[in-house]
Structure 1
Amino acid sequence: MSFKAAISVKNLGKCYQLYNQPHDRLKQFLWRGRRQYFREFWALRDVSFEVMPGEVLGIIGRNGSGKSTLLQLVCGTLTPTSGEVAVKGRVAALLELGAGFNPEFSGRENVFMSAAIMGLSSKEIEARYEDIVDFSGIRDFIDQPVKTYSSGMYVRLAFSVAINVDPDILVIDEALSVGDGEFARKSFDRIRDMKKAGKTILFCSHSLYQVEAFCDRVLWLDHGDIKLFGNPQETVQGYSISLLGGAETESAAPLTTSPSAITAPKGYARLCHVEVSLDGEIGSVLRGRPDENDLSIRLQFESDPQLPAPTVGVTISYGTLMTVACVVSRSENVLIERDEHGRGEVTIDFPALPLRKGEYHVAVYLGNEDAVHIYDSVQIAATLQIEDPLPEPGLVNLVHHWHTRAID
């Protein structure tokens, strides 16, 4: 195992014993291994990799692929069945909701207990206590039992403790998907600061865009094995292709108009109105033909005027299988204009839409200025039903030219 790596994992495996009936556990104990009343389930098997200091490693995979088990083994909250894990430095972890805090204790008591477990002395905790509470934003409830907290309040406090113990390694397992926009943005800003400061980060998320944009390398787990490990673009693309045909249909979101307000809440941005039209006809289900119709997506948004203008993105997907096209204002250097209250309107036009026969979904996203954090989205703003009398296969008509001549 490398002495230079912040995290070294070698031939790591974790096996669980599954019993069909509760009394089989007693039988197994009484027979002392002479008979077996359980079946083995390997959550991880023969996993090896290294993470260097200052590296951000993304971890992706379907539910049940072993991601959370791997993170718990790295954090030391689980014992491996085989192999070994070596970690250099202080680890702070934000794992699944509910881990780490005692629900009967107050927020204050849990701060001291959790920080002590992470290796801080009483004096160090006292010196950082105010920063922890200020970042969490739940000072009014800090002396109430944690069992009375909402999921968002819980994550606020847990994350505040994790980042303020000054860890060498930060482990995040999807927990930041809980909570409001202001805190989510503030959290991602702090994570970026930690990355710039050279901290090692394990980032487990189902948000493939965030993983690809934020991580240096990505580890793809599949049924407890490493499927692919390396470049973020290649690994995320491989995982996305593996999901073809197996994705669950997103719940449809209608054309949306939010209750009017002067501005969005502090640190936040939101879509107020989204409409999709084909040749000027607005609707949630639109019918067209290849190369004959002009597609237009118009959206209005509200945002905190004290923050940079948000990023706008639009995707067109073939059902739930694959993204056919994606446009993002940041990538195309489009300046999003707003008024003094942070309100703005954006229209994206696709002339002579070149889609071939099939059903397509239009989705709209509103992200922060570097498009890592998604403030708001409408997953199915409209469904396009394209009819094509031609039998040839394909999803799009590419611009092309024919050249032919007779050969003498």
Structure 2
Amino acid sequence: MDNVIELENVSKTYRIYQRGWDQLKEIMTGRTYAHLTYALHPLNLNIHHGQVVGLVGKNGAGKSTLLKLVARTLTPDLGGHCRVHGRVAALLELGGGFHPEMTGRENVYLSGAVMGLTLQQIDELYDEIVAFAGIADDMERPVKTYSSGMFVRLAFAVATCIEPDILIVDEALSVGDGAFARKSFDRIMHFRESAKTILFCSHSLYQMEKICDTVLWLDHGQVKAQGDPNHVLTEYAEFLNHDSNSRTSLLSPAKINTSSDSDIESTEETLSIPTELKGTARLTQIVAHSGAQSGTALQLHSGESELTVTIEFIYDPTLATPTVGVAVMRRDGLLIASATTHNDDVLIPHHNTGKGKINLLFPRLLLLKGNYQLDVYLGCEKALHAYDQALSAIQLEVVQHGVEQGIVAMPHRWQLTAQDHLLSL
């Protein structure tokens, strides 16, 4: 396969001066007064046409620096060579090149020119950009008067309405809120299905594993691991588990009703979908049940208690029915187990009411003593884009009779050999 991105001994170092006049003293005396900070150590990397490459690493690992080098908004240190073949669309700092005093229309033409488009090409794309952003009535206003949502919509539309050969995404596979988040995610997935090369970083290991062909793990500017997503992400997850402050998720926490006072039932009447719900979905209620207990905080007995989690949601009925996922977390953030309707091939029936409900059952709780919580996710029909989430939706305190140690009680049995049985006689 042809390489579209070739990095040869690419690195990035910053010279930091403690005092403003240290740089002048350095010039005058020839002595070094700078402290060198290595944002990215020498790196060699080849990315093939149509390959989807993910970047993982904690904040400050060098992910954004690498993406900016490929996007050519940064230049590598001397001796490094960064070759990029094809048109690049970079979703790094959306709207970073917008001039606040200029109108939306003027900024479209300014950004298009910066991307290397001709005036004629921008003219041909202008209507598509405005239609995708959905702010036609505001294009003659200065962007400084835009809301943050309008700003993001226009910036994303400008960056992606060109047909790039290489798409670079920093941190988020979808931007904006509600329906636009789904629309932006669909556009990025369209690039993937069109065999465009994609290079992105994300804190969602789930999305990484489902989307990427290969993953690069950076730590303090150096490559810790590179290769098969399953192998690299397993190592990275184990690394994160040693850091109690690390937590990966799909999107920002959602505020939902977790009380058990209401029971939403589907009817045959078509639901009037609120404007903010069009093109998206949200969780409405999450309740746990075990015996006589019901609510969002339960005490359970290891190996004895049954647990049922009832999850209700509402969605735009013009969309495919969403998928539901549940993650069992230890209180310190360690992921214990997970389950999704998509992975288990469970199809939630589609209703023209736009309401959905499903129960997740644990027939016999295998968790050992400790405090746990359930995170609930509402995703698209492919379980890639997250419409909504509720972190720590259910709190569980597990007690036990025995002294078994660990996290889960694994089903097992002891067996004596025939020889051992004879010796005991």
* Structure 2: distance between partners of 1:263 and 1:336: 19
Report the Cα offset of residue 273 of structure 1.
0.8
- Which residue of the partner structure matches residue 199 of structure 1? 196
Residue equivalent to 1:332: 344
User: Quick one: distance in 2 between partners of 1:164 and 1:20?
Assistant: 43
Residue pair 1:316, 1:324 contacting (<8 A) in 2 also: yes
| Preserved contact between residue 316 and residue 363 of structure 1 (Cα < 8 Å) | yes
Deviations for 1:98-125, whole angstroms, at most 9, x for unmatched residues?
5222222221111111111212110011
Q: How far, CA to CA, are the matches of 1:113 and 1:37 in structure 2?
A: 40
SS of the residue corresponding to residue 44 of structure 2 reads strand
8 Å contact kept, 2:258–2:287: no
Match for 1:208 among 205, 209, 233?
205
Partner of 1:288: 300
For these two proteins, the number of residue pairs brought into alignment is 404
The reply to whether residue 256 of structure 1 matches residue 257 of structure 2 is yes
The structure-2 alpha-carbon separation of the partners of 1:254 and 1:370, relative to structure 1 and needing over 3 Å to count, comes to closer
Q: How does 1:131-170 map to 2 (within 5 A)?
A: 131-170=128-167
**Cα distance change of structure 1 residues 243 and 311 upon mapping to structure 2, 3 Å threshold:** same
363, 384, 399: which one aligns with 1:372: 384
Residue 178 of structure 1, CA deviation: 4.1
Contact 1:45 1:224 in 2 (8 A): yes
Mean Cα deviation higher: 137-146 or 367-376: 137-146
User: Is the contact made by 1:195 and 1:201 (CA closer than 8 Å) also made in structure 2?
Assistant: yes
Return the letter of the residue paired with 2:130: V
Q: Please state how far the C-alpha of 1:241 moved relative to its aligned partner.
A: 1.0
What percent of counterpart residues are identical? Answer: 45
Mind listing any 5+ residue stretches in structure 2 that lack a counterpart? 265-270
* Cα pair distance change 1:205/1:249, threshold 3 Å: closer
| Matched ranges for 1:315-394 at <5 A | 315-394=327-406
2:287 aligns with: 275
Q: Deviations over 1:227-276 (max 9, x none)?
A: 11111122222111111131437799786259998435111000011112
Question: Bigger shift: 167-176 or 38-47?
Answer: 167-176
Residue 6 of structure 2 is aligned to residue 5 of structure 1: no
Please tell me the root mean square deviation across aligned C-alpha atoms, in Å: 2.3
State yes or no: 1:99 paired with 2:96.
yes
- Structure 1 residues 97, 127: CA separation in 2 closer, same or farther (over 3 Å shift)? closer
Q: 244-253 or 284-293, which moves further after superposition?
A: 244-253
Cα 1:64–1:22, aligned 2, differ >3 Å: closer, same or farther? same
Q: Which position in structure 2 is the counterpart of 1:70?
A: 66
Counterpart of 2:268 in structure 1 is: none
In the aligned structure 2, how far is the partner of 1:263 from the partner of 1:272? 14
| Structure 1 residue 90: Cα displacement | 0.7
User: 1:156-209, CA deviations, whole angstroms, 9 ceiling, x for partnerless residues?
Assistant: 212211222111111111255541121111112111211121211112111221
Moved more, 151-160 or 131-140: 151-160
> 1:147 aligns to what SS in structure 2?
helix
**Partners in 2 of 1:284 and 1:257 — Cα distance?**
7
- Range with bigger deviation, 313-322 or 250-259: 250-259
* 1:80-100 alpha-carbon deviations (Å, 9 max, x no partner): 114111000011111024522
Classify the secondary structure of the residue corresponding to 1:341.
Answer: coil
TM score, norm. by length of structure 2: 0.89
Go from structure 1 to structure 2 and tell me whether the alpha carbon gap of 1:39 and 1:228 turns closer, same or farther (over 3 Å shift): same
1 CA distance for matches of 2:141 and 2:206? 37
Q: Contact 1:118/1:165 (CA < 8 Å) preserved in 2?
A: no
- Report which stretch shifted further, 253-262 or 37-46: 253-262
The alignment partner of 1:397 has SS state of coil
> Retained in 2: the 8 A contact 1:254–1:380?
no
Q: Which residue is equivalent to 1:27?
A: 25
Q: Measure the CA separation in 1 of the matches of 2:150 and 2:225.
A: 36
Q: Alignment partner of 1:158: what SS?
A: helix
TM-score by length of 1: 0.93
Query: d(CA) in 2 for partners of 1:72 and 1:300?
Result: 42
